[in-house]
Amino acid sequence: MLEIFEFDFMVRAILAGILTAIICPLIGSFLLVRRLSLVADTLAHASLAGVAAGMLFGLYPILTAMLFAFSGAFFIERLRKAYATFGEISIAVVHSTGLAIAVILFGLGKGFNVDVLSYLFGSIVAVTERDLWMISGVTAGTIVLVAAFYKKLFALSFDEEHVQLRGVNVYMLNLLFMLMTALIVSVAIRIVGVLLVSSLIVIPVAAGMQVANSFRNLLFVATGIALTGILTGLGSSYYLDLAPGGTIVLVLLAFLLGAIVFKNMAGNRF
């Protein structure tokens, strides 16, 4: 069973999975509480345009994905400000724009169809040392920023108007939060791909909501679920020869269904 650790690519995959399991639920908890779960999927499509640009111009795709995701995050906040009572407009516009740019750039490029699939569906076993360093940097930065702004982000998630009345620059705080989300989405696409990255951010938190009794507990429960799900999915994909990204998401989905059943049984019992 321990033969999995004999391969460098699997060790890198496991380390990348652990780091991703820490940051995805961390930012996902705030997203779900604010009812912004679709933001992750939107920024993933913006990241896909960045991946296409990186491949087309011979640049590091994860870095260009971050730059495009940053742009998407900025435009989401600008449009949310312009359409204050119709926030979903910003998500729809950036989502379609990112996908349109990606389609055009992929159409201009030739000969990287295999690489495209690895970013669409994830390729955690192909994580390079450079990818691992990038994920490590994003993890460290996310933890520092969340720790520094935790109280403000928590208050913003439940009562944005009250935070604004206290003199906090809500626009800048929202923008900082969106930029953090963009960073996480950009590195997470290496794990499960653009098409599944929102699952990695949403499902562990959704499962945690069924059993956690406070927001702080939710952060820890969701992280534990994500960590267990990613490692279980990664191990299963290796020994059963399955696609890692899809396997990880299905394992997380099993946790979600289990949490729902557990809550229903506990509610009926007491």
The 10s digit of each residue's pLDDT in 133-156 is: 999 999 999 999 999 989 888 888
Domain CATH code at residue 147: 1.10.3470.10
Q: Is residue 131 part of a domain?
A: yes
Q: Is the pLDDT of residue 114 over 60?
A: no
Q: What is the dihedral of CA 232, 235, 237, 243, to 10 degrees?
A: 70
Q: Is residue 165 part of a domain?
A: yes
Nearest residue to 154 via CA among 177, 123, 126: 177
pLDDT-based confidence at 224, cuts 50/70/90?
Answer: very high
pLDDT-based confidence at 245, cuts 50/70/90?
Answer: confident
Encode pLDDT of 30-46 as tens digits: 989 888 888 888 898 89
Residue type, 220: F
Q: What is the pLDDT of residue 239?
A: 86
Q: Is residue 175 part of a domain?
A: yes
Residue with tokens 């990241």: 47
Q: Is residue 266 part of a domain?
A: no
The number of beta carbons lying within 10 Å of the beta carbon of residue 119 is: 26
Please state the pTM of the whole predicted model.
Answer: 0.86
Domain that holds residue 100: 2-195
Nearest residue to 50 via CA among 91, 105, 111: 105
Number of domains in the chain: 1
Q: Is residue 211 part of a domain?
A: no
Q: Is residue 92 part of a domain?
A: yes
